[in-house]
Structure 1
Amino acid sequence: MAFISDYLTHDTRFVYGTQKLIVDFLRKSCHNVIKINYVSDGASAHFKNKYNMRNLAHHYKDFHIEASWTFSASGHGKGPCDGIGAVVKSTATSY
C-alpha cells in the first residue's frame, strides 16, 4: 500500500494518519487480520525516531490491532518498498 499526499512534512502526525487509513481499510476489506507488519525502507527521518516508536508501542491501544515494523537497511538492495514506489512514481509521471 502506498500513499500520495500533499502533506510533505512526513512527520509522526503523517505516519499516524496513514496508519489510521490502513487500519480502517483492513477492517473493511480483510476481517480476519489480527496483526499488521509495517515495512519501510531506511528513511530514518520519516520512521525511525522515538516518536514513531512510541506510536508503535501504543498501536494496540489506539487501533485495537497488534502491529510490528520491519525496517530495511539503506543501501542493502531492493525490497518491496522500492518496487511499490517505482510503480507509483511511474504511473504518476504518465499523467
Structure 2
Amino acid sequence: MEVESFMLRPINDIGNLEKLEQEFSNKEAFEKLKQQYSIVCSELLENGVNCAYRLLDILFTKIFLCSWTGGSRNAADVKLGLKAFKNVIIFFHHG
C-alpha cells in the first residue's frame, strides 16, 4: 500500500475557503481529501461532535473566525457563516 503525504494548510481567509468549496465540488478530490483528513478522528474513539470541532480547529486558523451559521453571542464579533458553503458542510457530514 502506497502512503501519500500531504500538508495541512489551515484556511485563513475567504478566498481560501472559496477554493476549498470549489475543490470539494470535485468528487475525486472530495474523496481524496476525506481520506487524508480521516486520520484526524477514529470512528472507534471519537463522537461526531468532537471530531467536527477537531476538524474545524485543523481546517481554519483562529484568526479566521467562522461559525456554522455566522451567528455570535457577541454582536461586535462578526463571523462568516459556513452554511453558505454547501460542499464544506457535506464534507463534515461525510467525514
> Which structure has the highest strand share of the two?
1
Q: Could you state the TM-score of these two structures normalised by the residue count of structure 2?
A: 0.33
